[in-house]
Amino acid sequence: MRRRIIVGNWKMNKNYWQALPLIESLLGYTEPRDLKGVEVVIAPAYPFLHYAYQSTKDTKVSVAAQDISAHESGAYTGEVSADMIRSTGVQMVIIGHSERRRYHGEDAQALSKKIDLALANRMEVIYCIGETLEERRGAAQFKVAKKQLMDALHQLTRDQMQRVCIAYEPVWAIGTGETATAEQAQEMHGYIRQVIADRFGPKTAACIPLLYGGSLKPENAVALCTQPDVDGGLVGGAALEVARFIAVIEALLH
């Protein structure tokens, strides 16, 4: 069976004092429960990664970074390397989020370097893809998804690919309250799995977790997360309130 994963992407929200109770309450929910194998991940900002890692060690919650540098080390003021993150204990990283692509001009070359560095540092990657509203209106969503997938992943071996999850996040649905319908999500996830199968073979494709993101919330999580090719979610806004995040996790326990 494929892994099922819910990731809370905190983005640039929560200071230290706000992060503490959020982690505590989440653990209060996860620890006494049988999560039926659903993996719960939180992605706080860099300054709290080490704390988050330490306080969730040996629990059902794990920690991801929101990004890494495309450089290995050196004179890159403000950047944080894969090696630095890995040395905190954190083993997972989000790469290619649309906000990184849009506000920081991250292109295919930078993203494939980041993926290589994350994998070289024994990390797992959550690689984000998704089309803009304009691209969907122009019926270009499949072409865009294929290009984003292949630009960044074509160089990987099958073994490396096993350490990658894909998050499909239509840009028009991120933070807008708009969501893809369950049918749109399934259609795209099915397509993504096919693209992976064409490059890495059907066996590899069958075990890669595909997460949906973009205004995923308690109100739509059951419909979206029960689609056959949707293996979990990447949650932004709804991950900032523990009760809402828990309600999304529960959608996967159905």
Residues binding ligand PGA (CB under 6 A): 9, 169, 174-175, 213-216, 234-238
Q: How far is the CB of 169 from ligand PGA (least distance, A)?
A: 6
Q: How far is the CB of 175 from ligand PGA (least distance, A)?
A: 4
Q: How far is the CB of 73 from ligand PGA (least distance, A)?
A: 28
Contacts of 84 (CB under 8 A, 6+ apart): none
Closer to ligand PGA by Cβ: residue 170 or 200? 170
Q: Residue 189: helix, strand or coil by DSSP?
A: helix
CB atoms within 10 A of CB 107: 12
Tell me the catalytic residues: 97, 169
Nearest position to ligand PGA, beta carbon: 236
Helix, strand, coil percentages for the chain (3-state, nearest 5): 50, 15, 35
Closer to ligand PGA by Cβ: residue 164 or 235? 235
- Give the CA distances from residue 56 to residues 9, 22, 30, 31, 40, in Å, rounded to whole numbers and listed in that order: 16, 12, 11, 10, 11
Q: What are phi and psi of 71, to 5 degrees?
A: -105, 150
Would strands 124-129 and 61-65 be described as parallel, antiparallel, or unpaired?
A: unpaired
Q: How far is the CB of 13 from ligand PGA (least distance, A)?
A: 10
Closer to ligand PGA by Cβ: residue 13 or 88? 13
